[in-house]
Amino acid sequence: MDIKALIREVPDFPKPGISFKDITTLLGNADGLRYAIATMAEHCADLAPDYVAGMESRGFIFGTALACKMGVGFVPIRKPGKLPVAVHSIEYALEYGTDKLEIHQDAYPAGSKVLMVDDLIATGGTAGAAAKLIQQAGGTLVGCAFVIELKDLNGRQHLPNVPIITLVEY
Ligand code: AMP
């Protein structure tokens, strides 16, 4: 199945010069969604994670479905101020300014094998920060999975040396 054909490209969103990869059209296609999750699960099977962790908010959609398919629990990595008990947090650089991500300190037992999931890796700033946070919370990062990779931005340089699974490349 051609997953790329189900992803809508929106020029100049959210600002001029950005080609936005809109995954809502993939999510709305029952066969496409099932195929995307099944393919990700297949490619990640050997990593044998104990948990899948996904970044707010599109990482929640794919991450939760993937966790379900792989038979493991899901851990949300959230924007600041959303998680109700003690958190680890990390600040990271954006094009302009900084942002923050948080994870519950008790999200998983120390040494758990964690697979990180997001919809898309662009510059890799978000994924690099989330990878550090997963490790800060005592997890062993066993791999990273993205539906989409924007190759030219070389976001992988911000990730540790673990397997990286992607379904569609631009
Ligand atoms: P980055 O930190 O630059 O790798 O950006 C990754 C995050 O920004 C992902 O969670 C994406 O959801 C979002 N993002 C960045 N670039 C795009 C794009 N061209 N289309 C859709 N989402 C994007």
- Residue range 71-129, pLDDT digits in tens: 999 999 999 999 999 999 999 998 789 999 999 999 999 999 999 999 999 999 999 99
- Ligand 1 pocket, 143 CB below 6 A? no
- Supply the pLDDT for residue 154: 97
C-alpha of residue 150 to centroid of ligand 1, in Å: 9
Q: Are 133 and 108 in contact (CB under 8 A)?
A: no
CB 58 within 8 A of CB 118: yes
What pLDDT score was predicted for residue 14? 94
Output the pTM of the full model.
0.97
| CA–CA distance, 50 with 67 (Å, rounded to integer) | 9
Strands 98-104 and 87-93 come out as antiparallel
Ligand 1 pocket mutation pick from 123, 126, 150, 152 by most atoms within 8 angstroms of CB: 126
Residue 96: what pLDDT? Answer: 81
pLDDT digits 0-9 by tens, 12-68: 999 999 999 999 999 999 999 999 999 999 999 999 999 999 999 999 999 999 999
E runs forming strands in 43-139: 51-55, 73-77, 87-93, 98-104, 113-121
Q: Does 141 score more than 90 pLDDT?
A: yes
Give residue 88's region: left, alpha or beta (phi > 0; psi -120 to 50): beta
pLDDT at 26: 98
- What kind and span of H or E run contains 9? strand 8-11
Distance 121 CA to ligand 1 centre (A): 6
pLDDT at residue 64, as a whole number: 98
pLDDT for position 152: 97
Verify whether ligand 1 is closer than 6 Å to residue 39 (CB atom). no
80-96 tens-digit pLDDT = 999 999 999 999 998 78
Distant-in-sequence, close-in-space partners of 5: CB < 8 Å, separation ≥ 6: none
CB of 155 closer than 6 A to ligand 1? yes
Residue 5 dihedral angles phi and psi, to the nearest 5° = -65, -20
124 lines ligand 1 (CB under 6 A): yes
Contact 47, 115 (CB under 8 A): yes
Other Cβ atoms within 10 Å of 126 Cβ, number = 22
For the record, the structure tokens of 22 come out as 């809109």
Domains identified in the chain and CATH numbers:
46-169 (3.40.50.2020)
Residue 70 pLDDT more than 90?
yes
Q: CA 104 to CA 84: how far, in whole Å?
A: 8
Q: Are 38 and 30 in contact (CB under 8 A)?
A: no
